[in-house]
Structure 1
């Protein structure tokens, strides 16, 4: 009986008020008396919520690690505008469609725009011109900060986590290490292991790639490997610079004092 009641609402789209209809009561009342149970609007809603709670982990497991296509459809029912949010993916070559939520249109749109607006602004900035990796990192970092401030927004936590996970893949970048906006005393952008890896990479790049193309070697040049590494280490002690700092000009001014870097 519970299963049939859930299907009346979930499959056949009857309103919860259907359990108060006289015709349906003529069918349900004898069954309820025989089974010793009561099916009304509050009970039906509770059973539906329990069924949904069991289905969520099952649906999540089926969608895990799959490429998903997000679908948003609008509808009007009983003078209410709603959004149907679904996903589509493939299993064994066949399309599977799942409805994952229904939401009030205006509330959903407001929350969605609020959460993804910083991402849109960041994307537009990155499309304007060629953006060096370190500037890309800075814009992405500022986007994370903007989204993180939207604590009550239902999209904020997951979006912040996704943006942060993508950002972590850039931590071992040589460009960031040479940028005083990120590499400064007590900076937590890099771990000690990442710093050592970047230093080894820079030295190897100089010795194995640049000298191979243009001749000579690091050991035979005017600067020793140890001195070169010391120059790299001193970058970690330099003063932190603001977000608008011109890194290109910073290194152009050092082309005589730090030609290798």
Structure 2
């Protein structure tokens, strides 16, 4: 909404407009707000990606922190950064989050080879497959609601599973030549 307002800045400031709103807009406030929240908005949208794992989330978190740190003099960016740092302390106390980061090769500074230890490798497979958001679960329930209707109430569980698998993986099916 603020970006839309900012995009109309030139139009709003024109003197030849017949209908004028009798308020002053602090454009520096609007610009600071939009600049500070732009990285947050971008990475919040990233959370809606289907295969977005904990390592992806942490990578985007760090990028967002860097972008906010570079916005010196922006009060909104400073407050966002302060909130992110407090939240990061909580995240770093979460064992599952730390395991996801530790086992992700992008953040594993010790370069532990998970493939040599069978149990550790199985654990890494599970943790790295866990999505960092519930988007895929929500899409699954949404797809199920379109499959399981009053007219289809007598479908077997196998048929429902098959239809759901097709519905949720239609991108893969588009690439297959039948």
Please say which structure displays the higher CA radius of gyration: 1
Which structure features the higher share of helix residues? 2
TM-score, normalised by the number of residues in structure 2:
0.48
More contact order relative to length (CA 8 Å, sep ≥ 6)? 2
TM-score, normalised by the number of residues in structure 1:
0.34
Which structure features the higher share of strand residues? 1
